[in-house]
Amino acid sequence: MCSCVTSETSLALLQIEVFCITNLINCMLEADEEFIVMDFHFVVGDGGMQSLFELLHEFLRKPMWDEAALERAKQVSGLAW
């Protein structure tokens, strides 16, 4: 559930997770030095596509990264950024 998209507070991460669960959105984000790959699974009916675009808009408008998650990603990938 959108674990690398976050804000300066844990409340924003919780809000994103609740939004995804409430609107039946499953998103996976993978990033490297050049690209971000976003994989979304969502319900097409009942406003699912609109909810997905709202989530995507928030990510593109003001992306923020959790420093702890970034450090874990560096360790897992073995890259020295």
Q: pLDDT for 39-79, tens place per residue?
A: 999 998 889 999 999 988 888 887 777 778 777 777 776 65
In sequence order, the 6+-apart residues with CB closer than 8 A to the CB of 30 are 36, 37, 39
3-state helix, strand, coil in the chain (%, to 5): 45, 20, 35
Bridge partners of residue 29, in order along the sequence:
38
Bridge partners of residue 45, in order along the sequence:
none
79 against 13, higher pLDDT = 13
CB contact at 8 A, 35 and 41: no
Bridge partners of residue 39, in order along the sequence:
28
pLDDT above 50: residue 9:
no
pLDDT of residue 72: 77
- Whether pTM > 0.75 for this model: the answer is no
